[in-house]
Chains A and B, each alone.
Chain A
């Protein structure tokens, strides 16, 4: 994960600034800072089964505010990328359970599918 994200995870001192500013924490099972903590402690399994990386919308607020220069958006993408490369799609766009919002812009389909499906 460090290699794929290009981030030094040990730089994080768990100040929680990232979590304080993230818009999606209400729906997350691991908070953004906890994702880093788990990896620091070698608990990669926890982050691989968490909903959090899929809920991260790459809004770059945490990246902007981290006092240690950690780019959490790249860590979240590294986790998604590892899962997608194992064939574990979060959303199967052609699956019957997935309903496309018919009134949405093309931009939504391209961005959503590139982040959430393989």
Chain B
């Protein structure tokens, strides 16, 4: 637990999607961390991490981009953070491989002419919130608690698996996002499909497959009482929000469900400029739930949300 965070530089790796497609994920993260007095140093001049961790044993060249990012980060601090679950998976697993596999470490260092042993800590913002800020402190900084929204925390794959290398949380029943949502005042709804795969990049092989995955996940969240879900990965957001129209086209019993990045909810709770949340870019309009959030002390409002759920439209 660091009491004084102001002298600790946390290096932030945005990756290919965070300043463009998933701008609200990045902007609300940066603004929220400012409110929490955590210094972020954004890496300049970074390159793509390659998005997927190379799984073929001889593909050591596939680890070079992530190793470069880790080495670059070391110049600015000893903690590296990133929001996209794919980047997080690649950076943490690469760092782990450098720490634990002498052959990989030697080959990468020989190629890069470096002497890196894996001493940078790759931490997810949720881990930083838990360990460096503390959920109690986060709770004390909340000015607008999200009291009226029942949220299902969705973890997906790359954030939590494979558990031996990611060491993020219990891979079958993770709780970190649950704890975060509770601390900003959400009513957390547990649902078994919170660790199911959203379909990942497979939309390029067929929309149906992704519609089926998204339907299974969102229906399971709803069946357990969720009005919306919160997640951390742009590709999950794409499959579950941007392409939610695929579900409504295929499954007539499905009514739309809003999806939030966890950082958007954090930003709202900490009172940052709502314009940064980019709610106009969400395909499923979260409007009614947001109204409820702003009037979170009014319990009547909650009933209105439930009754109006079928009015949430897909753009």
Is the beta-carbon distance between B202 and A57 smaller than 8 angstroms?
A: yes
Interface flag for A73 (CB, 8 Å) = yes
Q: Which of A12-20, A29-37, A38-46, A107-115 interfaces with chain B? A: A107-115
CB distance from B14 to the nearest CB of A (A): 11
Residues of B within 8 A of A81 (CB): 56, 59
Rounded to whole angstroms, the CA-CA distance of A100 and B203 in the bound complex is: 10
Instruction: Tell me the interface secondary structure of chain B in the complex.
Output: loop
Q: Give a binary string over B176-202; 1 marks a CB under 8 Å from any A CB, 0 the rest.
A: 000000000000000000011101111
Interfacial chain A residues near B30, Cβ < 8 Å: none
The contact sample of 6 A-B pairs, CB cut-off 8 A, is A4-B57, A57-B202, A76-B55, A103-B238, A105-B235, A116-B204
- Collect the chain A residues with CB atoms within 8 Å of residue B157's CB: 57-61
Interface residues of B (CB under 8 A from A): 15-17, 20-22, 48, 50-52, 54-59, 84, 86, 157-158, 161-163, 171-172, 195-197, 199-206, 209, 212-213, 234-235, 237-238, 242-243
Q: Pick the contact of A23 from B22, B172, B196 — CB < 8 Å? A: B196
Interface string of A74-118 (1 = CB under 8 A from B): 101110010000000001000000101101111110111011100
Q: A26-B212, A107-B235, A111-B235 are in contact. Are A58 and B55 (CB under 8 A)?
A: yes
CB distance from B259 to the nearest CB of A (A): 14
Given known pairs A74-B56, A77-B56, the reply for A104 and B203 (CB within 8 Å) is yes
Bound CA–CA A58/B48 (angstroms): 19
Task: Choose from A3, A26, A77, A106 the contact partner of B17 (Cβ within 8 Å).
Answer: A106
Please determine whether A54 and B205 come into contact, CB atoms closer than 8 angstroms. Answer: yes
